[in-house]
Amino acid sequence: MRLNQNLTILALGAVLSTPVSAADPIPHRQLELLPQTLFSGVVSENDVGLLFAQMRAALLAAAEGREEPPPSAELKRRLESIEVELKARGLVAGMLLSHIAESTLREAVRELNSPSAVK
């Protein structure tokens, strides 16, 4: 279950990091900062080391026909901390996207209802 949630967060990050077309008439400057805002400072170089140490231990265990070792207490602690931080940042990102969608839709409705649009 947590793996699916983590994959969803990563997929969201990938989608949000896609550059917005310059030809897009709707200003999306806030979106350009979203990936940086979501992920900056969350994962450290030490976290990467912990993750790869776990992966190497799992590979070694698999090669020897043993069960995968459980993650270290430090890796578990960091993953829980990262999860909490990404959830909070994800909420902020969702609110930002909601605001952008609302603003865009309001502008479209304004244009549709303007006297010059009604002929």
The secondary structure element, H or E, covering residue 52 is helix 45-63
Say how far apart CA 26 and CA 24 lie, in whole Å. 6
Q: What is the pLDDT of residue 3?
A: 58
Q: What pLDDT score does 72 carry?
A: 95
Mean pLDDT, the chain cut into blocks of 10 residues (119 residues total): 58 50 50 71 93 96 96 95 91 84 88 77
Tokens representing 35?
């990936």
What type of residue sits at position 41?
A: G
pTM of the model: 0.57
At 53 the pLDDT is: 96
From 99, 89, 107, 86, select the one nearest 30 (Cα to Cα).
Answer: 99
User: Measuring CA to CA, how many Å separate 39 from each of 34, 59, 107?
Assistant: 9, 28, 30
Contacts for 102-105: CB closer than 8 Å, 24+ residues apart: 104/26
Look at residue 84 in the predicted model and tell me its pLDDT. 93
27: left (phi over 0), alpha (psi -120 to 50) or beta: beta
